[in-house]
């Protein structure tokens, strides 16, 4: 349990934080601003890809193509002044968001490391390794700190973890199809049950 700092208390001795007077790592907590929430989520998952390490890595580092297989990503653009800086426009629960990351790719080790510059605080690692003759495996690890109530609730419901897993499966389909866009929600509903629940709790024009 993390109590609100004494500096936040009013002159009458009562806490300036709304009840309850504490914050925890659980969602829907009140009493402390999001910046003070200590929550850090670690997502680890992997998926098999019927393609060589070189082909899988080449597709994964073609960042501008992410909207072709990532349901929540609308656009990825590269900073003209810094080629290793990418800006993502995405949505969670139907709510538009954006963030910027710095990436460090190593073709020799088939790894990509990234760190957020703005938006939701997170770091990530992607590694492509051999998995049998002509096949590969993509491993992803993301350490993230939910930035607000929508991100925190999404993480608590398993939305973010589920989205990553589904996007990786769609990435495998994307690579195996030779780079053809994977059908989106208009053609097939790839959402997990918890994603559907989240969209029902926070309905939008897109999720109705």
| Domain extent listing, the chain | 39-200
Is a pLDDT exceeding 50 seen at residue 9? no
Tell me, rounded to whole angstroms, the distance of Cα 31 from its chain centroid. Answer: 26
Report the topology of domain 39-200: Alpha-D-Glucose-1,6-Bisphosphate; Chain A, domain 4 (3.30.530)
Q: Please compute the mean of the pLDDT values over residues 163-186 and round it to a whole number.
A: 81
- Determine what percent of the chain is predicted with pLDDT higher than 90: 41
Residues 6 or more apart in contact with residue 197 via CB below 8 angstroms: 157
| Amino acid 72: pLDDT | 78
8 Å CB contact between 39 and 152: yes
- Of 15, 52, 14, give the one whose Cα is nearest residue 31: 15
Report residue 104's pLDDT band, with 50, 70 and 90 as the boundaries: very high
- Of 142, 166, 146, give the one whose Cα is nearest residue 155: 146
Q: Please compute the mean of the pLDDT values over residues 73-82 and round it to a whole number.
A: 93
Residues 6 or more apart in contact with residue 198 via CB below 8 angstroms: 93, 153, 154, 157, 159
Would you call 82 exposed, middle or buried from its count of C-beta atoms within 10 A (0-12, 13-18, 19+)? exposed
Is a pLDDT exceeding 60 seen at residue 152? no
Is a pLDDT exceeding 50 seen at residue 193? yes
| Amino acid 171: pLDDT | 95
d(CA 139, CA 106): 15
Report residue 163's pLDDT band, with 50, 70 and 90 as the boundaries: confident
Is a pLDDT exceeding 50 seen at residue 177? yes
Q: Please compute the mean of the pLDDT values over residues 133-144 and round it to a whole number.
A: 92
| Amino acid 164: pLDDT | 84
Is a pLDDT exceeding 60 seen at residue 139? yes
Query: Whole-model pTM?
Result: 0.66
């Amino acid at each position: 349990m993390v109590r609100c700092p004494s500096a936040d208390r009013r002159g009458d001795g009562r806490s300036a934080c709304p009840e309850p007077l504490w914050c925890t790592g659980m969602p829907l907590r009140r009493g402390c601003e999001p910046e003070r929430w200590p929550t850090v989520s670690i997502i680890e998952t992997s998926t098999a890809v019927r393609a060589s390490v070189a082909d899988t890595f080449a597709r994964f580092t073609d960042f501008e193509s992410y909207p072709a297989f990532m349901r929540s990503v609308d656009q990825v653009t590269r900073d003209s002044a810094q080629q290793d800086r990418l800006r993502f426009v995405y949505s969670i629960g139907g709510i538009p968001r954006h963030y910027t990351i710095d990436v460090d790719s190593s073709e020799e080790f088939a790894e990509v490391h990234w760190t957020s510059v703005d938006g939701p605080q997170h770091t990530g690692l992607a590694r492509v390794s051999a998995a049998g003759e002509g096949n590969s495996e993509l491993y992803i690890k993301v350490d993230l700190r939910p930035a607000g109530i929508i991100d925190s609730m999404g993480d608590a419901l398993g939305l973010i973890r589920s989205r990553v897993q589904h996007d990786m499966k769609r990435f495998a389909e994307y690579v195996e199809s030779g780079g053809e866009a994977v059908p989106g929600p208009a053609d097939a509903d790839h959402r997990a049950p918890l994603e559907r629940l989240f969209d029902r709790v926070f309905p939008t024009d897109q999720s109705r």
